[in-house]
Every structure is written in C-alpha cells, then in structure tokens.
Structure 1
C-alpha cells in the first residue's frame, strides 16, 4: 500500500478516446496527418498511415498516451497526429496537484499495469477499457512528486542509452551484408525467390479466428506482431493453439524463416521453436543453394520497397506470388557460410546486450515499485 492518498484515475485525469475515421480517409503524408494506432506506440508496426478526416482527436509530442486495445497498458509520449480508438490521451485535471510526469510514471507502475491486465478481455485482440474505473493513482505532495520523477528520469535515461547502443549493433549485420554481397559478381546466378526453397503461407482456416476453443494448448501460435518485434529471431510467444487449433493450422519446424505479408510488410524472424502461424505470415525453408541468414538479410534490404509497393485497403498487404517472383542473386555457398558465421557472432553480442538491457529493465521496474509505495 502507498503511504499517500490514492485517488481514482478518472477523478484526477481526463481521458480522451481516439476515433476511427475509416480507410476511405487514408491519404499521403502531404495531404493528411499521421494516424496513430496502437502498433505505432508499441513498435509492432512501422508502416505509417495518414488521414485527412475532420473527425479526429489530435495530439502533440508533449501529450501522454495510453493504449487500451491490442497491447493494453503501453504508456508513451513524443507522438504527433491523430489517435485511433485503441488509444487514450491522458491529461491531469489539476496540474498544480498532479504533474504530467508523475502521472506518466504512475501509469507505468506495476500496480496500475496489473490492474490493466486483470481487467483485460479478448483472445486475439485484447481490450482493457473496462480497467479505467479501477485504476488508482497515488498523489503525494508536488515537491515529492518532483523528487521521485528526477530519480526515475535518470534511470530511464540509462535505458535509452542502452537502446541506442543496441541500435548501433543491429546496424552491423546490414553493413556486413553490403561488404560481402554489395558488389555482386556477374557470374553469380539469379533465381526467383520461390525457386530456392519452400515458400508457403501459414494456415488459420477456422472462422471466427478468435474462437476460444482454438487456443490455450501446447502449440506456440505466432502472429505478425511477434515476427515484426522479434529482432530477427523469434524466441518468445504470447499465444498458443489447442489440439483443435492445430488441426486447422500447420506446425512449422524451428529454423523456418517467417515473413509477414499483411500490416507489417516483409518483416522477418527465424523460429527458435516449432510453431503455427496464420496466412498473414509466410514460411520459408531453403534448399541447398541458399542459407536462411543470407535470405533474411537480403529481404531486409528490399523491405521498404516491398512495403511501399504494397496495396492498402484496411491495411497493407502483399500476396505470395509477389514474394515468389522476386529476383534473388545466389552468391557462392562458401561466402554465404562466412556471412552466417559472422552473423552468429553479431547475434551473440546482441544476446549479451539483451541480458544487460533486461537487468536495466528489472532495476527500473524495482524503482517504479518502490516509488509508488513511498519507499524512494
């Protein structure tokens, strides 16, 4: 329990829900404003959408946002545009009693996040708006808020520095690909992507897709967001299929290269375990002419072009034929092996960095917990 008064969130803050202007209002960047969806805050999508609708809720970089659908509980700021219905703009009703920074950290605190989790419903798409009336915010005196915020700001700065170092490490793989394969030799053969291995869509045949009986079993179920956020290797999952779910899907082996073809276009991740995935993801297993590491890095070099060419209705998508018809240069296998070996070294470094990042995250969560118990 906090040693300060705890007040309902709805008594100390205004929550403004975003809107859904509809895909008919989607336009280009020169004519519209960014339409911010849950994935834009969580990093699960990086294909921007713009809207010219007048029926929008505008936000600026200083505004505090909270996700309540899809990935409930994400707290973020620094965004400009119009927010979707899965987001809430959160403002203190009385800034002289509750600072915006204190409110931000309060929403990130373990107690509030647990409240959101406890009142989240849904299977494939999660909803947590029912949690709002149950969220309570500790309200210490403003000088105490400011003191604790300074401590948490320093801890969060360390996490940002770590993220910047991680980003530089991620760039190493692209640089290595350019070094080894950037000047393709004229005698290196060209092939259609679909001819250098097995390339097939995942399966999720039952309708409705969120039928509860399909879930909760022993078989990992991967979706586009899991691939997009995998940093190249899928080592975790948040959903599983039951025996009934498996019967209407397919179990792909560890080592399969997963490629997204809807919402997130041509994002990739290699399975670290056997898993199922829906038809918005394509699975690739190579023949003896190419290695997965080479193919994955090649796809990253053309990902933006594929995304830019993808038609968009409610969401961007490409079809399997588009992937199969892509022209792929096939370097000597020995050179691909050299690349794969050096990529493995880079990923070992990334694993070590991930362990450091996890320790920093654990320290930050501990500070949050202690802060809102009044122990800092």
Structure 2
C-alpha cells in the first residue's frame, strides 16, 4: 500500500511555544549541544531567560526542532522539556492527530531527506536550507498506528547503534589515558616538557587542493572524502584527480567543528572549513594527533577555530618517547578499527532501515 504524501507545512507548521518563561532558569539550546545523526543532546546549559539574545524563541515538548544551518550535519531534536533555542533551529509543531513527533524526527534524519535538503541550500559560507522548498516538501504519512510501529523498530535499532558506539568510545579512551600517564596534561604541562608554538610543529598544506561539495559525495567510490563532520569518512568520489596532493600522514582539522582526524591514506577534502596539517621533523605525527585531541579548544559557535589552534603551545618530549607512544597507539588503533568496522556495518544497516521505513 502506498502512503499519502503531505507537505510539511500542513502537518508540522512552524510554531514556537506561546508559554514564556519570565525570569525563569531555563534550558538554552544551541546547535553545539546537539549530536549530528542521532539528535542526542550532549549537554544542557541553563540560564535565566532574561539573559538570552534576540535571535531566539521559546519551545516546548510539542515541538520538533530542525537545524536549517548546514543540513548535512543532520541535527534534529525532540525536546524532553521546554526551553529557549537559537533561531537556527526551526520549531516544527506536528499535529498530534496525524503525525507522531518521533516519526517526524526519524524522517528528517533519514539519509534520503538529508541528501535532498543538502541540495536545496542558499549561501556559501553558511549554507541554510531554502525554506520555501522545506515547507513544500512532502512527507509520507501512514496511519498513526503504523507510525508508532516504525518508531518502535527504529528506536530499537538506534539503541543497538548507540551501544556499539559506546563500546567504541570506551576502547578509544585507552590511548588518551596512556598519553596522560606518559606525558601528563599537555595544557598544564606538569612534567615540565619543553614547549613550542604551533608554527614550529605544524605546516598547513590545505592551499592548492581542490574540495568537493557535500552534495557531490557518493555512498561508494574509488577514493574517500574527509570533511569536518563527526564520521572519519564523509563519503566517496570516483574523481581521483581531486585527491589531496601532499604527503602522509596528515591531521585534518574541522575549522567549525573543532574535530581532529588522523588520515594516512589518499583522500579528497570535503568543502567548508577543512584544514590539512603535517608535522615538521622531530615530531611524531600520531603523537601530535593525540596531543591535539587533548587540547582545551574554546567554543566559538560556528565561527572559525583555526586561529585558536595557532595560538596553542605544544609539549616536546624526547622523540624516542613520542615514537614509543605512537607504536602503542597504532596497536590499539588497529584493534579499535575492528570494532569500528562492525559499528560501520550497524550504521549502514540503520541508514538502510531509515530510508526503507518511509518508502511505503
């Protein structure tokens, strides 16, 4: 049976909460608090309602909040309490008579919708979804009983996916713990290692390399695409002429996201805020990568962060110690990759389930 398709505006119009919070201590939701792909809230910041800026709105548990900024980051939240949010989020209000809020959230996170939304953007530096397209977009609308069944299946699949991620994260904590044991906190430097500035350790090799727009990413291809998103590999392309021209390994830094990635294989740069760094002689690149992971980087929203990285000092232990740490990290990383391969299979299965769930 084919389900009817209904424009978003008809069943989930933009409607913020009409319940203000005068002088209340409330949740202030920003994009940085939202995990891409899952919609998990990474942290909750609370403040008095009078301290918010003008570009905000009130929301409640009847809303589904969708980020119109950089839709490929895939940030959708079903709030569990009222609060105040940035206007980069759209306050959809699904009609409870016809639309389950969690069904809507899963649909907005589905790979097919994310791909479509990423094609319908305006702006280069700060791409946002074209709202006229968004509100006219038609969502498949099965009966509420079927929506509930789909949500239950996807919730269970999502639980398995999260468990797999948590297992990976526990394994990944081994390497930072070893770094801290061998070298101490690189920020406070309690062991008194000599230090150098960023410019003495790294060379920025980004310039001169071509970048690929997110709408051009393929699910499979001849060469991986690395961008500033959370996934190590954002997609693929068959255009090997776009490959990064420098030496390996490299550290890829997300200028907006503050995410570091260690890359030791051919790749294409994803567009929008990617920096590619190599280490200078006498500094082990894998040691440098984990050093970067432990830096206390300030959060400047979706502004550029590379300027802050360039101001950092880096500890300089003996090269032999750096190499010892890097050898151990390589062994642990190879084991983690086994877990990640399993996790990737779970992620791909979940993506397929998301798309098929809304096919009618």
Shift of 1:98: 1.6
TM-score (norm: length of structure 1): 0.68
Q: Does 1:362 align with 2:354?
A: no
Stretches of structure 2 that go unaligned for 5 or more consecutive residues are: 18-24, 213-222
Question: For 1:270, which of 262, 281, 287 is the aligned residue?
Answer: 262
Q: Determine the C-alpha separation between the residues in 1 that align with 2:358 and 2:273.
A: 44
Q: Does residue 192 of the first structure (1) align with residue 196 of the second (2)?
A: yes
* Corresponding residue to 2:325 among 328, 336, 339: 339
Name which of 157, 160, 163 aligns with 2:162: 160
Matched-pair contact (CA < 8 Å) for 1:5–1:138:
yes
Change (3 A) 1:126 1:292: same
Q: Partners in 2 of 1:315 and 1:187 — Cα distance?
A: 32
The residue aligned with 1:4 is 3
Describe the SS at the equivalent of 2:247.
Answer: coil
C-alpha separation in 1, matches of 2:202 and 2:112? 47
User: Where in structure 2 are the equivalents of 1:254-269 lying within 5 Å?
Assistant: 254-259=248-253, 263-264=256-257, 267-269=259-261
* 1:307 and 2:308 matched: no
**CA offsets, 1:128-180, max 9 Å, x none?**
22431342222222222222221121111111111111211221111121233
Query: Mapping of 1:153-302 within 5 angstroms?
Result: 153-182=155-184, 190-194=194-198, 197-200=201-204, 202-203=206-207, 226-227=227-228, 229=230, 235-236=233-234, 252-259=246-253, 263-264=256-257, 267-271=259-263, 272-273=265-266, 281=275, 283-287=277-281, 289-301=282-294
In structure 1, the partner of 2:311 is 322
Task: Report the CA distance shift for 1:163/1:319 in structure 2 as closer, same or farther (over 3 A).
Answer: closer
Shift of 1:347: 1.9
Shift in Å at residue 256 of structure 1?
2.7
Partner Cα distance (2:330, 2:277) in 1:
21
Q: Is the 8 A contact 1:191 1:327 kept in 2?
A: yes
Q: What CA distance in whole angstroms lies between the structure 1 residues aligned with 2:273 and 2:64?
A: 35
Q: Could you list the per-position Cα deviations for residues 221-251 of structure 1 after superposition, in whole angstroms to 9, with x for gaps in the alignment?
A: 97xxx34636xxx65578999x9x99xxx95
Deviation at residue 67 of structure 1 after TM alignment: 2.3
Q: Do 2:193 and 2:316's aligned partners in 1 also have CA atoms closer than 8 Å?
A: yes
Look up the match of 1:15.
14
Distance 1:16 1:298, change over 3 A: same
RMSD after superposition: 4.7
| DSSP-derived class of the 1:180 partner | helix
Q: Which moved more, 1:113-122 or 1:365-374?
A: 113-122
Distance in 1 (alpha carbons) for counterparts of 2:284 and 2:233: 20
Query: What TM-score comes out, normalization by structure 2 length?
Result: 0.70
| Conserved 8 A contact 1:159-1:361 | yes
**Compared with structure 1, are the counterparts of its residues 54 and 156 closer, same or farther at alpha carbon in structure 2 (3 Å cutoff)?**
same
- Alpha-carbon contact 2:228-2:256 (below 8 Å) kept: no
Change (3 A) 1:240 1:268: farther
Offset, 1:103: 1.8
C-alpha distance in 1 between matches for 2:338 and 2:33: 27
Q: 1:152 to 1:343 in 2, by over 3 A?
A: same
